[in-house]
């Protein structure tokens, strides 16, 4: 069986040089692919302390070894870089077809280096890669830019691009492909800093598998398993558009910038209400779930708004933070974010922050360009989305993210900035779902819900053991979730498929057939790869000055009781963060300061990192 480690395309925008490399077997054996390749190359190639928006940062776009083939829900792709929002390691995952197309063109990894002198885009085929003038599309929104690229290069083209937010270096700009986004951590900002508007891939379907016959057989098994799974049918019907029904009922739907865990009159924003405006569904390459639910507004002030979404996080981002029950406004805001290239979670978080500062008198009408930021009013929210993308007026301040904006405002504004390591909190209240909260605290990219999603807290998942969601003694479960996610993202398996398409043995066998490396069929081996990835990411962060001090929830979660209205969990706080970190670090084999210890690094085959950690 031939070995298939995948190829890498290196694009240097400063020199205009393009080259290809075969990924060495040693990297494949230790890191498998996807997120593993991302951190492996980033750690090796990025000098500590570089400016995330400078020429020396690198943007890595990765699919996984299973992308572009018959196996289901494994054609997602991701971006890894150093985040301009947090300064830490960044990974952001996206769907649609781009990952498959990248594979058809022959690549598992694109590394973009340097900075172009003027706006450019990269056009890639199986035989060629050109850096071309993007003057015509610079300034255009993501829909217009993608349509232009399709006209230039044909309908068999798939694109990852930025919108005006990325061009304007909004710190949480997204990369958009179709109508899906690599939203978190400001990956679109890094692209904008390089004057890179888009990467467009034109390619025909091509198989790249070490053992295509074995792979096909395994993929058919996976299709059968999925088709007969009840969880799959439910996800196909609803996507995540009804998750707020669950989170409101249990009091973990963050409201008014994380003061409450339940929205007033939340019956107005249920899945059924969104269902009434649904006009279609969309999905990713080779996934029958098509879980992206399309919504269209037909009446009222938002008539004509149309988006593939909002999904749960975005439903929350444009309702909960300002306590609006207007679902039409959430659809309009989602459309704007996709067009302008903004991360919806950070955008909603920054807007909720501004509303609270306005209530507290820390922002006045003269600071907000005349906008009255009063809870429940959704019109100013829509205006703010546009202002942020254009960095106009108050939008320029909010475009920096809550951590930097609070530091600029001063006067105690930091107390209302809801972030971990600079990344705005997502749609699960940490005081009511503490394993989820502690995942935010310790995730290598900051407060991210899917870096180690605590399904035990939210849905009562029984593996590796059930949790009491108010307990702070679940460090082992947090680690299980985080390492398991790293393991799956070598694939790159969609996080949603965890409930219905995830069969670890089958996944390992698929990887073995795709790569031609037998030991990938061994789950213990792959688990260890997940641990290795997580530790190397942590080492990357330590090199950048992240230790125990930055592993913390916002002050509000540690000092103010949660109010849940009619839901359980009233009065909950996070009271034992220090004890949690002691336990978590000890289980991980890290020092008291949260630095991976030499023995742990050696055990993981990361001998070369030991010295880097020594001076920290």
Residues at the interface with ligand SF4 (CB under 6 A)? 73, 76, 95, 283-284, 287, 289-291, 494, 496-497
Beta bridge partners of 196: 120
Distance, in Å, from the CA atom of 456 to the CA atom of 435, rounded to the nearest integer, reads 8
8 Cβ neighbours under 8 A, 6+ residues apart: 20, 21, 22, 23, 41, 107, 108, 109, 110, 111
C-beta of 95 vs 554, nearer to ligand SF4:
95
76 vs 387, beta carbon nearer ligand SF4: 76
- For ligand SF4, which is the closer residue by CB, 93 or 511? 93
Q: What are phi and psi of 378, to 5 degrees?
A: -90, -20
For CA atoms 554, 555, 557, 560, give the dihedral sign: negative
Closer residue to ligand SF4 in complex, CB, 62/494: 494
Minimum CB separation of residue 450 from ligand SF4 in Å reads: 11
Compute the least distance from the CB of residue 39 to ligand SF4, in Å. Answer: 22
Could you give phi then psi for residue 130, rounded to 5 degrees? Answer: -125, 145
We find the least distance from the C-beta atom of residue 95 to ligand SF4, in angstroms, to be 4
Q: Residue 291 CB, nearest distance to ligand SF4 (Å)?
A: 3
Question: CB-based burial of residue 615 (10 Å sphere; 0-12 exposed, 13-18 middle, 19+ buried)?
Answer: exposed
**Residue nearer to ligand SF4 on the CB measure, 283 or 452:** 283
- Residue 478 or residue 497: which is nearer to ligand SF4 going by CB? 497
CB of 218 to ligand SF4, least distance (A): 18
Q: How far is the CB of 220 from ligand SF4 (least distance, A)?
A: 18
Cα–Cα distance list, 408 to 53, 397, 402, 569 (Å) = 20, 8, 10, 34
**In whole angstroms, how close is the CB of 521 to ligand SF4 at the nearest point?**
23
State the nearest-atom distance from the C-beta of 8 to ligand SF4, in Å: 24
Nearest approach in angstroms of CB 334 to ligand SF4 is 15
CB nearer ligand SF4, residue 234 or residue 616: 234
Distance (Å, whole) CA 251 – CA 34: 35
DSSP state of 82: E
CA neighbor of 10 nearest in space, from 79, 80, 59, 75: 59
| Rounded least distance, CB 235 to ligand SF4, Å | 6
Judged by beta carbon, residue 290 or residue 565, the one nearer ligand SF4 is 290
- For residue 280, give both structure tokens: 């279609």
Distance CA 155, CA 414 (A): 48
Take residue 188 and report the two structure tokens written for it: 């679109």
Strand order in the sheet with 196-202: 129-133, 120-124, 196-202, 157-161, 175-177, 180-182
Q: How far is the CB of 72 from ligand SF4 (least distance, A)?
A: 8
**Rounded distance, CA 539 to CA 547, Å?**
10
Q: Which is nearer to ligand SF4, 93 or 129 (CB)?
A: 93
**76 or 556: whose CB is closer to ligand SF4?**
76
- The alpha-helical segments, DSSP class H, found in 91-141 are 98-104
Residue 320 · residue 418 · CB < 8 Å:
no
- The long-range contacts involving 262-266, CB below 8 angstroms and separated by at least 24 positions, are 262/564, 262/565, 262/566, 262/567, 263/319, 263/320, 263/323, 263/325, 264/323, 264/325, 264/565, 265/325, 266/325
We find the least distance from the C-beta atom of residue 20 to ligand SF4, in angstroms, to be 28
* Residue nearer to ligand SF4 on the CB measure, 256 or 344: 344
Can you tell me the distance from the alpha carbon of 341 to that of 301, in angstroms, rounded to the nearest whole number? 23
Minimum CB separation of residue 501 from ligand SF4 in Å reads 8
Question: Phi/psi class of residue 188: alpha, beta or left (left: φ > 0; alpha: ψ in -120 to 50)?
Answer: alpha
Closest approach of ligand SF4 to the CB of residue 239, in Å: 7
CA pseudo-torsion sign 18, 20, 23, 24: negative
Q: CA dist 117 to 44, 54, 199, 582, Å?
A: 26, 13, 17, 48
Closest to ligand SF4 by CB, 223 vs 249, is: 223
* Nearest distance, CB of residue 345 and ligand SF4, angstroms: 16
User: Which tokens sit at 260?
Assistant: 């409450």
Q: Which is nearer to ligand SF4, 236 or 391 (CB)?
A: 236
Helix residue ranges per DSSP H, 426-522 = 434-442, 455-459, 475-488, 504-515
The DSSP call for residue 196 is: E
**Complex with ligand SF4: residue 162 or 494, whichever CB lies closer:** 494
Report the residue number, 76 or 82, with the smaller CB distance to ligand SF4.
Answer: 76
Compute CA distances 8 → 3, 102, 581, whole Å. 15, 11, 38
Q: How far apart are CA 330 and CA 287, in angstroms?
A: 26
């Amino acid at each position: 069986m031939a070995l298939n480690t995948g190829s890498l395309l290196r694009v240097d925008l400063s020199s205009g040089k393009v080259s290809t490399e075969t990924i060495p077997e040693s990297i494949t054996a230790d890191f498998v692919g996807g997120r593993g390749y991302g951190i492996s190359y980033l750690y090796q190639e990025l000098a500590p302390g570089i400016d995330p928006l400078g020429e020396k940062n690198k943007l890595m776009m990765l699919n996984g070894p299973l992308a572009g083939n018959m196996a289901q829900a494994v054609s997602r792709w991701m971006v890894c870089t150093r985040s301009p929002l947090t300064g830490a390691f960044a990974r952001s995952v996206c769907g649609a077809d781009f990952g498959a197309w990248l594979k058809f063109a022959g690549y598992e990894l694109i590394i973009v280096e340097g900075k172009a002198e003027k706006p450019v885009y990269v056009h890639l085929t199986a035989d060629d890669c050109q850096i071309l003038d993007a003057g015509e599309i610079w300034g255009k929104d993501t829909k217009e830019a993608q349509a232009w690229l399709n006209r230039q290069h044909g309908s068999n083209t798939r694109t990852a691009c930025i919108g005006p937010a990325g061009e304007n270096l909004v710190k949480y700009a997204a990369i958009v492909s179709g109508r899906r986004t690599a939203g978190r951590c400001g990956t679109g900002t890094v692209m904008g800093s390089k004057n890179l508007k888009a990467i467009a891939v034109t390619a025909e379907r091509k198989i790249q598998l070490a053992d295509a016959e074995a792979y096909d057989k395994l993929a058919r098994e996976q299709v059968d398993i999925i088709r007969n799974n009840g969880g799959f049918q439910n996800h196909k019907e609803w996507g995540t558009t009804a998750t707020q029904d669950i989170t409101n009922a249990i009091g973990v739907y963050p409201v008014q910038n994380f003061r409450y865990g339940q929205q007033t009159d939340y019956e107005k924003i249920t899945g059924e209400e969104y269902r009434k405006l649904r006009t279609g569904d969309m999905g990713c390459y080779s996934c029958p779930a098509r879980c992206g639910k399309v919504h269209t507004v037909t009446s009222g002030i938002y008539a004509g708004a149309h988006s593939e979404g909002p999904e749960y996080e975005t439903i929350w981002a444009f309702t909960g933070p300002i306590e609006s029950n207007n679902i039409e406004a959430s659809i309009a805001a989602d459309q704007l974010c996709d067009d302008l290239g903004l991360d919806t979670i950070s955008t909603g978080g920054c807007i909720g922050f501004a509303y609270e500062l306005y209530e507290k008198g820390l922002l006045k009408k003269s600071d907000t360009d005349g906008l009255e930021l009063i809870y429940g009013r959704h019109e100013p929210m829509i205006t703010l989305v546009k202002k942020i993308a254009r960095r106009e007026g108050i939008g320029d301040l909010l475009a920096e993210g809550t951590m930097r904006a609070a530091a600029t405002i001063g006067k105690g504004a930091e107390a209302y900035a809801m972030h971990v390591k600079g990344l705005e909190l997502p749609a699960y209240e940490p005081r009511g779902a503490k394993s989820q909260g502690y995942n935010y605290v310790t995730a290598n990219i900051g407060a991210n819900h899917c870096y180690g999603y605590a399904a035990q807290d939210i849905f009562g998942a029984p593996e590796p053991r059930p949790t009491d969601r108010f307990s702070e003694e679940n460090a082992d479960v947090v680690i299980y979730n985080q390492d398991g996610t790293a393991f799956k993202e070598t694939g790159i398996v969609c996080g949603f498929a965890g409930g219905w398409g995830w069969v670890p043995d089958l996944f390992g066998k698929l990887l073995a057939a795709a790569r031609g490396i037998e030991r990938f069929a061994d789950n213990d081996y792959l688990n260890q790869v997940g641990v290795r990835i997580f530790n190397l990411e942590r080492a990357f962060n330590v090199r950048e000055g992240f230790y125990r001090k930055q592993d913390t929830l916002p002050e509000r979660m540690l000092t103010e009781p949660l109010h849940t209205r009619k839901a359980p969990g009233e009065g909950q706080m996070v009271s034992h963060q220090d004890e949690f970190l002691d336990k978590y670090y000890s289980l991980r084999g890290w020092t008291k300061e949260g630095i991976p210890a030499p023995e742990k690094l050696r055990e993981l085959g990361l001998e070369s990192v030991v010295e880097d950690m020594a001076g920290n």
